[in-house]
Structure 1
Amino acid sequence: MSVNLTNFSSTDAEVAPVKKEETKKMGMVEKINNLLLVFSRIKSSEKLFFVQNLGIMLKAGVSLLMSLRTLAKQSSSKKFVTIINDMADNVEKGKTLTESLKPHEKVFGELFINMVEAGEISGKLESVLTQLFTQIKKQHKLVSKVKGAMTYPIVVLSAMGAIGTFMMIVVVPKLTSMLKDFGAKLPLPTQILITVSDTLVNNGPLVLLCLIVFIFIFIRILKTYRGKYYFQSIILKLPVVSPIVKKINLAKFARTISSLLKTDIMIIKSFQITANVLGNLHYREAVNEIAEKIKKGSTINEVISQYPKLFSPIVVQMVNIGEQTGELDEILEELAQFYEEEVDQIMDTLPSILEPILILVLGTAIGGMAVAIIMPMYSLSNSI
């Protein structure tokens, strides 16, 4: 009995390489997806959904493991699904929620993990999750307000820059050749305009490269502690911006400490955690120093009053009342609410305040270019 090996060998030779190629492609796709997951960010809305629904399910008597498995199925973020499933796996192995959260501190943050730990120790995890939901929601709203208010001026300034560049590269060179044909002496504003235009036209790539290098160096400097510290020093001295930055940091300061104290975390630990939450390095440094001074026996009111440039008199007064009445957490919550409303009002009115300023800047720029173009023409008409 003979077997026809021709068809078998040829088919096998054709199929085997295809399988290898498919395996390689699948491996490459998986690597790319894993890389994208590493660099992807978890949105605040995802965290809000997670915290709120975890609290609801635990209150309803659903086990922690079942709650995590259910939330993993409902999340729209692949990265967050992976994180929640990893937490569920750890809980299934007998670990606490706090222990399951710690490998993902970059996602949830020190504040979140410490509050959950306090909730698990005190047996008040459901109420702690409610406080965390409020904390994240308020913070998300604050950030959204600031971003929303800054969108309008950024768009207007970008449009101004684009129009100005177009004028310099396309419009001004045509007028320049016409003016040079007359051979008349050009006024200083016109000479400056032509010089800028010629530089952009003749050395456009070099100018663009210099701009990119400058932005890159500036960002790199801002990422260093010293660079960020000095930049924030300037921000805290600017007339219009400084009050907004201070109110945002004070709102975050009061809200965070209030939430931590309500979960029975010690006052010194609360200040240390809060310091890491604050984005402004001056406030972070001050709050860390306050924690150290409280550890040595000083009252919060005494220490905070030593930083009048960062903490307003109303903060000092409210903290003093909170210490005397023993209701510091409630007082700080009211203070946070006050500053959050202040920031809301400022952000709502900011576009209407900036609009006339931007119009003035735009008008000055266009007017300056118009004057620089019209002046030589006017001089020529007078000389004819």
Structure 2
Amino acid sequence: MPNFYFEASDTQGIVHKGEHQAPSKDVVAQYLRDRKLIPLVIKSTEKKNRLSFLQIGIGSKVSRVQIIFLIRDLSISLKSGLSILETLDILASDTKNPTLKKILVDAKNNLSKGQDLSDTLEQYSKYFPQIYIGMIRAGEASGNLGETLSDAAVHLKKDYELTKRIKAAMVYPMILVIASVAVIGLLLIFVLPNLIETFERGNIELPAVTKVLIKVSALLSYSYAADFVVFIIFLYLITYFRKTKIGQTIYAKLSNVMPMVKELMRKIAIVKFTRAMGYLLTSGMGITKSLEFAADSVGRDEYKKIVHQSLESIKKGNALSDTLDQYPSQFPKLLTGIIRVGETTGSLENVFKLSSEFYEEEVDSSLKTLLSYLEPVLLLIMGLVVGGVAFAVLIPIYQLVSGFS
């Protein structure tokens, strides 16, 4: 989604500066008007970011780890007795990342003008998801910002570690796929072209699969530079399509076809939902507002719809557990039963945190089980594919040798 830089004036004439992700300038303008700000300047940062590479440098990129350390350092400083202005001043002077430095300086300046920290961070939603901004806003309202920032840092860290574990688990299967593609590529680009002339001189009838491979080989061998460009474009299109709404929908449907993958994705969504709810409620946020932010953190459309439906049901006076109980395929009876106990005892935030820990262990277990099945299946499939290509090359060679004898 495009990123826009804006300058806007409030009713007192104070100019606020920041960045906001939105589909268009009109959406940014409406975002500012909703906050009783008058838009003065709204411009895309895309071109600016590309042209200012030499000015800003590679260090301008803000990673998830840097955000975790920033929020953690804010929490530690506030808990140690420093004021929020002193904390921001120290962190801004210490950070080497130009983008983080700009965010901290803007936050300090806006705080001096009476604006909350959460309002400034919301202007940089590209780096700070709404769930964390919501937690910080709740911490500001309750006067317990240091503890809330600590919870936000823990939440961010656990989400990051979960994502990292899932990616790490997929490294070996990806190596298998890449190695198989590389072997097939070497056979088609370097081995088969050297055998084509021999096959033609031998005057033998080539199998249909070998003829197809020869045509593919000729196409790949035509220009290595073109092969590289096409490969890069293909990777880009795959990555881009994965981020689109249609791509995410297709990916979700494909994952639902495979039972073990479906179960893993279900548990991951439950972990994200319960963890978000636990920390949001602990920060002092109400149940309805917590559900609004938690819905966006789940990451799967079907769960977002259910959470939004639960939100509407709660507004009508129904219990959260009763609504979730209507969707046993997404929220198991065990979870809804535990939530019902939390609603009865008034310890809902603790119930959500405990549930997230339980289902996080379940994710690890499901991931190991999936990989234990996936690895031999991938080995078998890749072996058949590579073996099939090799066999298609070896058949004509065998025919030639038989003809000589």
Which TM class, normalised by the smaller chain length?
0.7 to 0.9
Aligned-CA RMSD value:
2.9
In structure 1, C-alpha distance between the alignment counterparts of 2:194 and 2:82, rounded to whole Å: 74
Partner of 2:315: 295
Aligned partner (choices 249, 256, 260) of residue 229 of structure 1: 249
CA shift in 2, pair 1:226/1:297, >3 Å: farther
Is the 8 Å Cα contact of residues 78 and 84 (structure 2) preserved in structure 1?
A: yes
Amino acid of the structure 2 residue aligned with 1:377: I
Given the superposition, is the C-alpha separation of residues 106 and 87 from structure 1 closer, same or farther in structure 2, using an over 3 Å criterion?
A: same
Report matched runs for 1:122-161 at 5 Å: 122-161=142-181
Q: In 2, are the aligned partners of 1:145 and 1:347 still within 8 Å (CA)?
A: no
- Look at both structures and tell me which one has the larger radius of gyration over its CA atoms: 1
**Greater fraction of residues in strand:** 2
Aligned equivalent of 1:363: 383
SS at match of 2:173: helix
> What amino acid is aligned across from residue 201 of structure 2 in structure 1?
D
1:334 aligns with 2:354: yes
Alignment of 1:32-111 (within 5 A): 32-33=53-54, 40-111=60-131
Partner amino acid, structure 2, of 1:234:
L
What does residue 3 of structure 2 align with?
none
Secondary structure of 2:114 counterpart: coil
The answer on 1:246 being equivalent to 2:283 is no
Shift of 1:276: 1.5
The sequence identity of aligned pairs, in percent, is 31
Paired residue secondary structure (2:194): helix
> How do residues 309-324 of structure 1 correspond to structure 2 at under 5 angstroms?
309-324=329-344
Structure 2: state its 5+ residue gaps.
1-47
CA contact (8 A) 1:152 1:351 kept: no
User: Which is further off, 195-204 or 316-325?
Assistant: 195-204
**Structure 1 unaligned runs (5+)?**
1-26
Tell me the distance in 1 between the aligned counterparts of 2:329 and 2:306.
11
Q: CA deviation at 1:182?
A: 1.4
Shift of 1:227: 4.2
Residue in 1 that maps onto 2:26 = none
Q: 1:173 to 1:143 in 2, by over 3 A?
A: same
Q: 1:373 to 1:293 in 2, by over 3 A?
A: same
How far apart, in 2, do the equivalents of 1:364 and 1:220 lie? 30
TM-score by length of 2: 0.79
Q: Are the structure 2 counterparts of residues 73 and 173 from structure 1 closer, same or farther at C-alpha, using a change threshold of 3 Å?
A: same
Deviations 1:262-305 (A, max 9, x none): 12211111111111122222222221122112212222112112
Give the number of aligned pairs: 357
Distance 1:244 1:80, change over 3 A: same
Q: CA deviation at 1:202?
A: 4.4
**How far has the Cα of 1:87 moved from its partner?**
0.7
In the alignment, is the contact (CA less than 8 A) between 2:298 and 2:304 conserved in 1? yes
Which structure has the highest helix share of the two?
1
Does residue 304 (structure 1) correspond to residue 324 (structure 2)? The answer is yes
Q: Which has the higher contact order (CA 8 A, sep 6+)?
A: 1
Q: Residue 199 of structure 1 corresponds to which residue in structure 2?
A: 219
Q: CA deviation at 1:382?
A: 4.5
Q: 1:276 to 1:342 in 2, by over 3 A?
A: same
Q: 1:65 to 1:229 in 2, by over 3 A?
A: same
How far did 1:258 drift? 0.8
Q: Any conservation in 1 of the 2:136–2:148 contact (CA below 8 Å)?
A: yes
Alignment match, 1:115: 135
Contact 2:180 2:386 in 1 (8 A): no
